[in-house]
Structure 1
Amino acid sequence: MTTTLREQALKFGRIKEVDGSSIILHAEFLEREFEAVKHCAEVGAYVNCGGAHGNTICTISKVQITEVEKTKRATDGFEIVREERKVVTLSILGCAVAGKFSRGVKRLPTINCETYFLSSNQVNQLIGIDIEEDQEHFCVTDESDDNQTYLNLDKLMGRHTAILGTTGSGKSCTVASIVQSILSSYECPRMLFFDIHNEYPSAFGYNEDTPNTNFKNRTNAIPWNDFTLPYWFLDLEEFIGVYNLDLGSNQKAIIKKLITKLKVAEVKKQDIKKIVVSADTPVFFNIDTLVSEIDEEKESQSTAAKKAPYESLTLKLQAIRQDTRYSFLHSKIDSETSIAEYFEFILGLAKNESYLNILDLSGLPAEVRAVCVGVISRLCFDFKYWDLDPENIPLNLILEEAHTYIPEDSDLKFNISKERVERIAKEGRKYGIGLTVVTQRPSNVSTTVLSQCGTYIALRLTNDLDQNKIKRLLPDTLAGQVDFLPSLRDGEAFVSGDSINLPRKVQFRVPNPMPRSNDVRYHKSWTIGKPSNFSLKELVDSWHKQDKSK
């Protein structure tokens, strides 16, 4: 086993310039061989600056050869000689303490300090994980991979994670791979997945062609036509936003008074003791009764001007009540679902527990989807806020296609989702609720959310705006690593942050089964034509019924 980080055979240069975040050295060699393996000065390679100060672990961010003109004495006077100088720029990552990597450095290297390439064995020693001792770590790479990579679950889930990559970079497969690794490594995780395109159930056993009983038995995939979000769980602000009520008039005061009145009556009816009732309390009330109460109050008003706010309220409530896009709000009126029953449904807390709960939101319009994500996120935050011990049921919300409902710009229709998710990003860690933010356009996602993430998993990103956003989020010492993001392979990512010991490129394990996110095979369809069982009538019927189950 390697015991030193300063192999003489791997020494290749000396430091000539040091500042707070980078180091410049002049290399004697750009290639060294050790134990029959060639080590090159290439971008991304790991280097140790070892001297009296200790061992400073760096990564190569730039390699160049410059020409220097020197004046040299000759037999007939002086001549100008051009000399090549090998210049290597390093980004500081941390230091080695007792042979293990640690973030931050106590003392920076000194001028003329010697530098050494690090072999794969030395890197493995730096980031070495004893799985018996470090049980909070789990492996995300294939067993045959020479560079096994482990992530710290506590920091990955608890300090928020961003998974970023352009479409086609392997983002969905990376998400599925990480979740599958967690399900395989831990008995009782608790994750709630907002699935925007209905592509993830197939990765967890809900596919007849690639079944997986182990994953399926621990997963609850809720199809969008079974999805419900009872309106009586909305707080007052959400209720006003969903039903398009006018905040500029006295409608807010009217609706607050009447909802509180109906909830107080329901509490008395159910004989619930010691409860503080307000318009925000998640207790059932009948919306049709609310409309009747508004009509009664309207009739008691003396003038048309005083009746106008009540008439407007009734029209707006009935408009949403009759809108089929919002049927998920009203489908459980007869059952009067309680908040405890809803958490059993949405978080898999019933007798037969499910540890991964996938909400298929693919059948909902974009503006409705944003409301659902916001309200459910707020309910989950409240659930953890009132749990006196945050370690009882630590929870992670996976936000797929996050740019569609927590955008960077201010838009009133996204206020509910944006504000609720941003609150979790800022405060969720201490209550045991974390976020996994997944997006193909990080430049369009709320900076408040992304800046709170402790781990960044950046797959291939080709857009300048997206790359610049990542540069601003990463520490200055790692910002240069963003330059190679456009050249990453499918499923390969640059991983940095709290959950990984040493920032590095990682080729994630291929998920098995796969999510339903593969590229469409145009060549096949455009060669053989439409299938024999294709039915335009069935397609239109599904469209009319808003049913994608077939």
Structure 2
Amino acid sequence: LKRTPLRLYPDLYLSKPTVEPERILKALNINLKEFELFEIKTSIIGYFDEKLGFVNPRIPPKPGQQIFLAEADTIQEVLMKKKINKIGSLHIGYLLNREEDVPVILDTNLVVSEHLCILASTGSGKSYLAGVLAEELLKPYNSAALLILDPHGEYHTLKEIEGLNEFKREDYIPYVRIYGKGEIKIRLSELEYNELLNLLPELTEKMEALLNKAYRSLEGKFTSDDLINQIVEAAGDEKDVTAKALIWRIRRYIQAVDVIDDYLHMELAELAKPGQASVLQLSELSDIEQEVLVSVLLRRILNARINAEKGLNGEKLEYPVFIVVEEAHRFASRDARSFNVLKTILSEGRKFGVGVCLISQRPSKIDSDILSQCMTQIIMRIVNPADQENIRSSVESIGKDLIEELPGLTKGQAIVAGVAINSPVLIRVRNRLTSHGGISKDAASEWMNWSSKDEIKIKQNQKRLFWE
């Protein structure tokens, strides 16, 4: 909505800032309303049909036809696919620029099946919004199986959900499980050959050929020692230079890495359950460990859902799963180890009930093919021109006018568009029920506290001089 005044005050009326222009107009007996006429440019989104949704009008409105501000109930009926607090609803905030609170509700089924992205600059409130989304998914009217990949340890406060009455029902109490570094394990035998190859740096062609031969000869569950023994056997001599170099890399980059284990493994049935959020804190893992973990975990979840849907043998998950991926640009760029499985899930996951929410502060680093598969978008303040251009080219439902709004958004404001809502809208994010774990540090206060502590220590340790 753009507003331009049709009549401006003459320059003479503005020559003395201490005198209000209205006082001059009154003194000259000029009607104030003449300066309150505006030309307003709006976009006609069409008329709403319950079956067809918004239909583009073939005939424009008549000149002079009256325009009315839509009432809250009308907006709810026309713009939102779901009613607040009803099964399959996600209440994420309120319409911006409305005097009364008009709730903005997304359709849970469309968010999960068609995927979601949250894009914003640092400090715009994307993690806060993701917390709101997690709260809604764990409400009794959703009871989601939720998995959160948390590289910065910001989502542990969701544990507070277990003690809040807003999330409880007679037959339902949500559960939030926080996985620390010691609990995050990948069994070595679960790694595919390419994932194993990515863990071992600077392999020669001979090393790759030897590793491939040893890996293909192993069956079922195996340990790192089994792999080493198979390499020696494939080489034919334990003193073989290629074998020794490969074994050294296995001991250095596999046996010495905590996240990869010979026996321990995270069971999917414990990791993903309806009414449960599992938060994997990845902050203590290296970049390589994080990428391998995301790749292996997403592939296992997708395969388990395929097995369940098609009645195949193997690991199964009998219900849909929604996965929140923070810092998504680290996992969804073309050179990331997890790129292929993420691309597969985003293109085919909806058929098997695997949904993904990508959260990033650098959308320009996310592959455009992946970003374009997120059919619901929540975009907050973005100033970087490269990021804006990537959004413009990848997100069809965001027009040029809305892209121009991005730099002017303030913290907690967002554009919501896509299949989960009938028309793009500007919103302010609702307040969280749990506390936010990603609050910026108050550096000045912490410095002052430490300074006062140091002063006390100095005074206590200071020796008296002989003349005192």
Alignment partner, residue 141 of structure 1: 93
CA deviation after TM superposition for structure 1 residue 86, in Å: 6.3
> What displacement does 1:131 show?
4.0
Structure 1 residue runs without a partner (length 5+):
1-42, 44-61, 68-84, 264-282, 534-550
Match for residue 441 of structure 2?
Answer: 520
Aligned to 1:287: 224
CA displacement 1:489-513 (0-9 Å, x = unmatched): 3222111111112321122221121
Change (3 A) 1:376 1:288: same
Take 2:275 and 2:103, find their aligned partners in 1: how far apart are those partners?
29
How many angstroms does 1:284 deviate by?
Answer: 1.4
Whole-angstrom distance in 1 between the partners of 2:185 and 2:450: 39
Verify the 8 A CA contact 2:415 2:424 in the aligned structure 1: yes
Alignment of 1:150-169 (within 5 A): 150-169=105-124
Q: Deviations over 1:65-93 (max 9, x none)?
A: 689xxxxxxxxxxxxxxxxx965444353
Alignment partner of 1:492 is 2:443 = no
Matches within 5 A, 1:161-310: 161-186=116-141, 188-205=143-160, 212=164, 218-244=175-201, 246=203, 249-263=205-219, 283-300=220-237, 307-310=240-243
Residues 438-492 of structure 1 deviation map (CA, whole Å, 9 limit, x = unaligned):
0111112221211101111011222222222222234377331121222223222
Give the alignment's TM-score, normalised by structure 1. Answer: 0.67
> Does the CA contact (< 8 Å) of 1:472 and 1:479 recur in 2?
no
Conserved in 1, the CA contact under 8 Å of 2:210 and 2:235? no
Q: Flag the 1:532–1:453 CA change in 2: closer, same or farther, 3 A.
A: same
Which digits, 9 at most, give the CA deviation of each residue in 1:129-182, with x for residues without a partner? Answer: 674996332323379962111110001111010111111111111100111012
| Preserved CA contact (<8 Å) 2:88 2:141 | no
Q: Which residue of structure 2 lines up, in the alignment, with residue 317 of structure 1? A: 250
Asked whether the equivalents of residues 81 and 420 of structure 2 are also in contact (C-alpha less than 8 Å), the reply is no
The equivalent of 2:26 in structure 1 is none
Q: Deviations over 1:289-318 (max 9, x none)?
A: 2212222333459xx9xx443333222212
1:435 — aligned with what?
356
Equivalent in 264, 269, 272 of residue 344 of structure 1: 269
Structure having the higher strand fraction is 1
- Match in the other structure for 2:258: 327
1:374-407 deviations in whole A, cap 9, x for unaligned? Answer: 2211121112222226994111110101122323
Asked if structure 1 preserves the Cα contact closer than 8 Å seen for 2:322 and 2:356, the reply is yes
The equivalent of 1:543 in structure 2 is none
TM-score normalised by length of structure 2: 0.78
Using the TM superposition, give the Cα deviation of residue 421 of structure 1 relative to its aligned residue in structure 2, in angstroms: 1.0
Q: Given that residues 143 and 174 in structure 2 are in contact (C-alpha distance below 8 angstroms), is that contact kept between their aligned partners in structure 1? A: no
Paired amino acid for 1:525: E
1:294–1:132 Cα change, 3 Å: closer
Give 1:257 deviation, angstroms.
3.7
d(CA) in 2 for partners of 1:134 and 1:511? 19
Q: Structure 2 CA distance, aligned partners of 1:499 and 1:187? A: 15
Distance between the aligned counterparts of 2:105 and 2:344, measured in 1? Answer: 29
Q: What is the total number of aligned residue pairs between the two structures?
A: 412
Distance (whole Å) between structure 2 residues aligned to residue 130 and residue 373 of structure 1: 32
The answer to whether residue 332 in structure 2 is matched with residue 406 in structure 1 is yes
Q: 1:181 to 1:86 in 2, by over 3 A?
A: same
| Root-mean-square deviation (Å) | 3.5
- Inter-CA distance 86–508: structure 2 relative to 1 (3 Å threshold): closer
Which string of whole-angstrom CA distances, capped at 9 and with x for unpartnered residues, describes residues 78-128 of structure 1?
xxxxxxx96544435343226x98234263637858462432334234236
What secondary structure does 1:327 align onto?
coil
Q: Which residue of 2 aligns with 1:379?
A: 300
Whether the aligned pair in 1 keeps the contact of 2:145 and 2:276 (CA below 8 Å) is yes
Q: Work out whether residues 118 and 360 of structure 2, in 8 Å CA contact, stay in contact via their aligned partners in 1.
A: yes
Asked if structure 2 preserves the Cα contact closer than 8 Å seen for 1:172 and 1:517, the reply is yes
Conservation of the 8 A alpha-carbon contact between 1:458 and 1:494: yes
2:402 aligns with: 481
